[in-house]
Amino acid sequence: MKKIEEKSELPENYEALKKQVGRTSNWRDRLDAVEELGQWNNKKVIDVLLRIMNNDDVYKVREAAYRKLKKFGEDVQMPAKKKGDLIKDVTKILVRIKKSLPEGHSYEEFKEKLKKMRLDVYDTYEGDKGPDIDQWLENMWVSVTKDR
C-alpha cells in the first residue's frame, strides 16, 4: 500500500493530545485525539496510535487508530474485538456499588452511583455498547446480587 503524505512534524498540541488519548473516563475525547493525531505522519504519533490500537478498551477508538495507521501505510492488522469483560473484575465493581446503595434502590440510582464512583467503567462500556448501554447495565444490575 502506498504511503499517503501527511504533515510529518508534530502538532503544536502533541503533548495535550497524548494526554487526551490516555483519559480512561472519556472514550469520545480519546477518539477525537486519535482523529487529530491521524493528520500527522510522524514516528511519535505512530507510536501513540499503535499503543491505542493495541490497548484501548473501546473498540471504536482502537479501530480509528488502526484506520489512521493504515492510511500512513503502516503494516497493521485490524484489531480483534475483545472477548469477555472489557474491564477486569467488572462484576465485582458492580457488586460493590450495588452494596453501597440502600436496599430497594432504583436502577437509575445505581447507574448514577456507578458514574460517580467509576466513570471509567461506565464510559468504557458505553463506548462499547453504544445505544444498548442501558439494557446491558440494567441486566447487570439485576444479575449481581448483594451476597456475592
| Cβ atoms of residues 136 and 121 within 8 Å | no
pLDDT tens-digit profile of 36-77? Answer: 999 999 999 999 999 999 999 999 999 999 999 999 999 999
Residue 89: exposed, middle, or buried by beta-carbon count in 10 A (0-12, 13-18, 19+)?
exposed
- Average pLDDT (125-145) is 93
Amino acid 6: pLDDT: 55
CA distance 111 to 94: 10
Q: What is the DSSP letter of 5?
A: P
| Cβ atoms of residues 94 and 144 within 8 Å | yes
Residue 145: pLDDT above 80?
no
- Total residue count of the chain as it appears in this document: 148
Three-point CA angle 24, 26, 27, nearest 5°: 90
Residue 147: pLDDT above 60?
no
pLDDT tens-digit profile of 73-89? Answer: 999 999 998 888 899 99
| Cβ atoms of residues 92 and 126 within 8 Å | no
CA distance 62 to 117: 25
CA distance 43 to 9: 9
